């Protein structure tokens, strides 16, 4: 394998041949181009570890190309060594200000060029390692955040995350007088499922119900495992009547679903409340209203939807 991939931008034919030959004998892979536009095309289609850039090119100033490379998202991390016969302090400063990482004056010793290339490769390696570590750290933080916000069994939001969203959406609904509904769902006779089939089967039932809930609500809705066999869905910009449509999908889908290792059909009871009620003026009162309505659904026979706020009870 090559020690590194080098893009060599040099319009002088004899200088280009000699330098390319020298670098390839040292084990580098060298792509040699003679102008700025060719260099731009090369970095778009190939990956390089170091760029050796002549300051004076036939189609543009090397400093202009250097600036472009350092502003390009895909090439800004590639070390650039400017090579030029312009070797005054002002020229060197201008080249470094354009984004060059190093500057070599012509004529240069080949041993010095090799040393500068090795130094640039070391810098590139350190940058790549740092970027990899940063990516790994970001991935780890994302996983930690996901774990802290989700229920490990179902993948739904946990109660902690739901509370944050609930407060935000409730405040928006109060401020803008917009509708907001809360759907509370409880698996009917779940204790009997655990007692009869065991907690492993019970966990499968909870996961299946959670998946049905996810499929039955909108992307803008927030579904949460409230605790045990109880779930809750927050539906922004939604009245009781529209929230009931989602509830009907959940009720029917659960009733129709074939749960593995469970002989009897599994059903759920659902209670719905919204902020249109005058007495629902806090987050806790909205949750209490949905919970109370759910209790009514269970008391009236289970496998049904009870809607708070005076709406008629619906049976599916």
Residues noted as catalytic: 229
Instruction: Give the DSSP per-residue string, 53-119.
Output: EESB-SSSBHHHHHHHHHHSTTTTTS-EEEEES--SHHHHHHHHHTT-SEEEESS--HHHHHHHHHH
Angle at 146 between CA 145 and CA 148, to 5 degrees: 65
Give the span between the Cα atoms of 219 and 242, in whole angstroms. Answer: 15
The radius of gyration of the chain's CA atoms, rounded to the nearest angstrom, is 33
The number of angstroms, rounded, from the C-alpha of 269 to the middle of its chain's C-alpha atoms is: 35
Residues 208, 196 contacting (CB under 8 angstroms) = no
Q: Determine the number of helices (DSSP H) and then strands (DSSP E) in the chain.
A: 10, 10
Residue 107, preceding peptide bond in cis (omega within 30° of 0)? yes
Residue 225, CB-side half-sphere exposure with 13 Å CA sphere: 21
Phi, psi angles (nearest 5°) of residue 64: -65, -45
**How many C-beta atoms lie closer than 10 Å to residue 56's C-beta?**
15
Phi-psi region of 51 (alpha: psi -120 to 50; beta: other; left: phi over 0): beta
Record the tokens describing residue 146, joined without a space.
């996901």
Nearest to 49 by CA among 2, 93, 88: 2
Record the tokens describing residue 54, joined without a space.
């002549």
């Amino acid at each position: 394998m090559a020690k590194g991939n080098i893009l060599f931008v040099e319009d002088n034919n004899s200088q280009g041949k000699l330098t390319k030959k020298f670098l390839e004998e040292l084990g580098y892979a060298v792509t040699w181009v003679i102008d700025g536009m060719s260099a731009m095309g090369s970095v778009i289609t190939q990956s390089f570890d170091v760029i050796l850039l002549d300051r004076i090119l036939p189609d543009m100033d090397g400093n202009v190309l250097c600036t472009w490379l350092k502003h390009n998202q895909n090439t800004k991390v590639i070390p650039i060594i400017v090579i030029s016969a312009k070797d005054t302090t002002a020229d060197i400063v201008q080249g470094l200000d354009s984004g060059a990482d190093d500057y070599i004056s012509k004529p240069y010793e080949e041993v010095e060029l090799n040393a500068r290339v090795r130094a640039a490769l070391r810098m590139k390696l350190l940058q790549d390692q740092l970027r990899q570590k940063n990516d790994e750290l970001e991935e780890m933080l994302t996983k930690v955040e996901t774990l802290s916000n989700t229920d490990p069994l179902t993948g739904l939001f946990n109660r902690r995350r739901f509370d944050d969203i609930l407060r935000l959406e409730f405040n928006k609904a109060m401020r803008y007088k917009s509708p907001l509904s809360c759907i509370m769902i409880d698996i009917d006779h779940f204790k009997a499922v655990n007692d009869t089939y065991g907690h492993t089967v019970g966990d499968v039932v909870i996961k299946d119900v959670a998946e049905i809930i996810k499929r039955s609500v909108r992307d803008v809705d927030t579904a949460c495992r409230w605790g045990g066999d109880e779930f809750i869905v927050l539906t922004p910009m939604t009245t009781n009547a529209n929230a009931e449509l989602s509830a009907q999908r959940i009720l029917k889908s659960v009733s129709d679903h074939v749960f593995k290792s469970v002989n009897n059909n599994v059903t759920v009871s659902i209670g719905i409340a919204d902020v249109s009620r005058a007495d629902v003026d806090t987050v806790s009162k909205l949750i209490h209203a949905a919970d109370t309505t759910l209790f009514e659904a269970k008391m009236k026979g289970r496998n049904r939807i009870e809607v708070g706020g005076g709406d008629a009870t619906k049976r599916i």
